[in-house]
């Protein structure tokens, strides 16, 4: 994983943001979580997990709270309460510094991987000069984890600037369907690679060349930390996309692809390749206090039918401290993996801010990330294709709202901060956490009849304006407000949502029958608490139905079978939404169920 020492990152970002580490703080979604009794997850970064004689063991990148903690170990019987065992190493082997050509030892070793060879535990790890591919992967072995006797087995893989295109960090060992072993690795640079391993030594087979199996289509190829599992005839490649190590501003997420061959080609659930293309099916992103969920590893049962996915996150309730999630992994009917909530669940209800389509007035097109691009890509209108490039997440950042594209994980911004009439609206990676960077922050105002304007928080408060009419291909720019239809939009939630109370942990709940009073109640997945919002043609209005389509809301916030009311749903500048119909207005938080 491309990273700086975690303690340094946390201190720098805390200084930039003026953060402290209170017992509870605003989550990434902008609300304060309800107090809850919950064991604190242990410090962890890039975890790997195995099981030995009833104990689960986790090894991690060095502990952010201490210097020179090389590969700390922890163990647990229940995956919730953890015992600290101390670091595997107190100093790096001399060969590491010699290979890297440095005299001062790095403060930690990165992204370990634990595997049982049949006779010994093998612990792969990486050491690197940050921001370069001057990196090494090393190997340690021990006959036991309960009574460790670690022995240094030396260098496994080396990468050098000007010599190798790959970056030799984030190692992960995998056994193929025929019992052969392979080592995968990779971070940024030329992506993810695999090479066959000699079972006797744990090192690459003599003369074997690495095979590149995944690389994103655009620089800087923010992809790393591979882990591979075999299930029902396919190899599933899990990787982390985007950026770790930015504390509560990290946007790490986890994607997956699969292939009938361990060496690829891997494709996502839509058949798009992960190599030199835009493929990758997202299965986990940050939500609630679990910011930047990535850096994952798998512990599967012997038949590959189920297991655990362990990842780190940055705790939004504790100043961004990196902590451990353990999640169950199963397989859906379509054959693709399903990752559960953590065994130690969130303090908050729901799964973060939902995604919405943004629809201009008097048009049938929707706002999209043009061409499904990345940093620098334009934001424009296009025909509704119901894909992630046309879905946006609105998240309150305290002094403006971030509007993030689901596909690219980039955000809408005043392009190049050109705060003039006609200034372009484009996308870039989130930088709004930096001081005085308001080019990526937006505010909202009601425009009447349920329509909304989207204004930059920069001086002048110029608003989104459709150039050329609300038709596919029209560009989005900012300009001085005129009150015209070309500056008005509605926001349509994608899929099911919770309509949560902004002041507590309750959510709007329908009665068990087809009709009756709708009330705010504590979250209960067995209750009728998921809603779908359906547009009313020719208006900015919606009908609001239960997800089971067994009823809809009338104007008095009652569930009825017929006579559905038309509601408007508009974002506000405090992170809530205004749900309004004739004579009734209700503030809600929209959340993913």
Structure tokens at 375: 């940093």
Q: What is the pLDDT of residue 499?
A: 99
Is residue 286 very low, low, confident or very high in pLDDT (cuts 50, 70, 90)? Answer: very high
224 as an active site residue: the answer is yes
Spell out the residues 6+ positions from residue 158 whose beta carbon is closer than 8 angstroms to its own: 99, 135, 136, 137, 164, 168
pLDDT in tens, 206-247: 999 999 999 998 888 999 999 999 999 999 999 999 999 999
Q: Do the domains 355-490 and 495-591 sit in the same CATH topology, yes or no? A: yes
| Coil, strand or helix at 98 | helix
Residue 378, phi then psi, degrees to nearest 5: -75, 160
Name the burial class of residue 454, with classes exposed (0-12), middle (13-18) and buried (19+) by CB atoms within 10 angstroms of its CB. Answer: buried
Is residue 410 very low, low, confident or very high in pLDDT (cuts 50, 70, 90)? Answer: very high
Is residue 31 very low, low, confident or very high in pLDDT (cuts 50, 70, 90)? Answer: very low
The active-site residue out of 41, 46, 223, 554 is 46
The three-point CA angle 402-403-407 to 5° equals 130
**Mean local confidence (pLDDT), 302-327:** 95
Q: What is the pLDDT of residue 37?
A: 77
Lowest mean pLDDT among 11-20, 68-77, 251-260, 431-440: 11-20
CATH code 2.80.10.50 for 495-591: yes
**Is residue 370 predicted with pLDDT exceeding 60?**
yes
| Coil, strand or helix at 407 | coil
Residue 448, phi then psi, degrees to nearest 5: 95, 145
Q: What is the pLDDT of residue 69?
A: 83
| CATH value of 6-30+43-342 in 3.40.1130.10, 2.115.10.20, 3.40.50.300, 3.40.50.740 | 2.115.10.20
Hey, what long-range contacts does 536-544 have (CB within 8 A, 24 or more apart)?
A: 536/566, 539/449, 539/450, 539/566, 540/361, 540/449, 540/450, 540/451, 540/490, 540/568, 541/450, 541/566, 541/567, 541/568, 542/492, 542/566, 542/567, 542/568, 542/569, 543/567, 544/499, 544/579
Lowest mean pLDDT among 40-44, 63-67, 349-353: 63-67
> CA dist 380 to 362, 461, 468, 501, Å?
16, 20, 11, 33
How many CA atoms lie less than 13 Å away from 355 in the CB half-sphere? 19
State the DSSP code for 417. G
Residue 349, phi then psi, degrees to nearest 5: -85, 160
Lowest mean pLDDT among 25-39, 175-189, 208-222, 384-398: 25-39
Chain centroid to CA 375: how far? Answer: 17
Is residue 17 very low, low, confident or very high in pLDDT (cuts 50, 70, 90)? Answer: very low
| CATH value of 355-490 in 1.20.120.80, 2.80.10.50, 1.20.1250.20, 3.40.50.970 | 2.80.10.50
* Radius of gyration for the alpha carbons in the chain, expressed in angstroms and rounded: 25
Q: What is the pLDDT of residue 64?
A: 63
User: H or E element: which one contains 592?
Assistant: none
Structure tokens at 579: 């749900």
- Averaged pLDDT score across all residues of the chain: 93
Q: What is the pLDDT of residue 29?
A: 37
**Is residue 63 predicted with pLDDT exceeding 90?**
no
The residue extents of the domains of the chain are: 6-30+43-342, 355-490, 495-591
The active-site residue out of 113, 170, 224, 315 is 224
pLDDT in tens, 526-571: 999 999 999 999 999 999 999 998 899 999 999 999 999 999 999 9
Is residue 35 very low, low, confident or very high in pLDDT (cuts 50, 70, 90)? Answer: very low
Q: What is the pLDDT of residue 1?
A: 58
Q: Taking phi first (over 0 means left), then psi (-120 to 50 degrees means alpha), and beta for anything else, what does residue 488 get?
A: beta
């Amino acid at each position: 994983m491309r990273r700086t020492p975690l303690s340094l990152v946390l201190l720098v970002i805390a200084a930039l943001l003026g953060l402290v580490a209170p017992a509870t703080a605003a989550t990434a979604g902008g609300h304060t979580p309800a107090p809850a009794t919950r064991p604190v997850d242990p410090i962890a970064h890039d975890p790997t997990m195995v099981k030995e004689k009833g104990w689960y063991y986790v090894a991690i990148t060095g502990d952010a709270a201490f210097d020179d903690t090389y590969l700390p170990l922890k163990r647990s019987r229940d995956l919730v309460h953890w015992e600290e065992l101390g670091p595997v190493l107190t100093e790096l082997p001399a060969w590491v510094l010699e290979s890297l050509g440095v005299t001062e030892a790095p403060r930690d070793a990165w992204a370990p991987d634990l595997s049982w060879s049949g006779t010994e535990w093998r612990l792969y790890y990486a050491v690197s000069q940050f921001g370069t591919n001057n990196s090494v992967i090393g190997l340690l072995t021990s006959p036991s984890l309960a009574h460790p006797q670690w022995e240094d087995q030396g260098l496994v893989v080396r990468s050098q600037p000007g010599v190798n295109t790959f970056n030799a960090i984030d190692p992960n060992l995998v056994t193929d369907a025929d019992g052969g072993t392979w080592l995968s690795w990779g971070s940024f640079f030329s992506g993810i690679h695999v090479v066959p391993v000699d079972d006797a030594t744990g090192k690459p087979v003599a003369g074997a060349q690495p095979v590149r199996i995944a690389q994103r289509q655009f620089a800087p190829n923010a992809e790393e930390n591979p882990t591979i599992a075999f299930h029902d005839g396919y190899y599933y490649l899990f990787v982390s996309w985007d950026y770790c190590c930015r504390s509560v501003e990290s946007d790490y997420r986890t994607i997956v692809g699969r292939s009938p061959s361990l060496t690829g080609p891997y494709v996502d659930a839509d058949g798009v390749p992960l190599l030199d293309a835009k493929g990758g099916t997202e299965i986990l992103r940050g939500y609630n206090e679990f910011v930047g969920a990535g850096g994952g590893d798998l512990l599967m049962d012997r038949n590959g039918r189920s297991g655990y996915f362990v990842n780190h996150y940055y705790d939004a309730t504790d100043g961004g401290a990196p902590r451990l999630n353990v999640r169950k992994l199963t397989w859906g009917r379509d054959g693709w993996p399903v990752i559960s909530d953590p065994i130690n669940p969130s303090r908050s209800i729901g799964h973060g801010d939902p995604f919405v389509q943004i629809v201009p007035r008097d048009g049938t097109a929707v706002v999209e990330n043009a061409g499904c691009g990345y940093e620098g890509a334009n934001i424009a209108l296009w025909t509704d294709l119901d894909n992630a490039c046309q879905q946006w997440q609105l998240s309150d950042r305290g002094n403006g709202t971030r509007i993030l594209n689901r596909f690219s994980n980039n955000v809408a911004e005043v392009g190049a901060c050109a705060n003039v009439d006609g200034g372009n609206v484009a996308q870039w990676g989130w930088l709004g956490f930096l001081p005085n960077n308001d080019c990526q922050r937006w505010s909202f105002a009601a425009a009447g009849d349920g329509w909304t304007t989207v204004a930059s928080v920069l001086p002048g408060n110029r608003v989104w304006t459709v150039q050329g009419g609300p038709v596919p291909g029209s560009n989005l720019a900012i300009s001085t407000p005129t009150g015209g239809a070309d500056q008005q939009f509605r926001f349509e939630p994608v899929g099911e949502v919770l309509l949560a109370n902004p002041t507590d942990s309750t959510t709007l709940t329908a009665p068990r029958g087809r009709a009756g009073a709708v009330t705010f109640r504590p979250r209960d997945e067995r209750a009728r608490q998921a809603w779908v919002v359906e547009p009313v043609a020719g208006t900015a209005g919606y009908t609001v139905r239960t997800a089971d389509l067994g009823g809809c809301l009338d104007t008095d916030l009652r569930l009825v079978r017929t006579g559905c009311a038309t509601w408007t749903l508009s974002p506000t500048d405090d992170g809530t939404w205004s749900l309004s119909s004739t004579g009734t207005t209700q503030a809600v938080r929209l959340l993913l169920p």
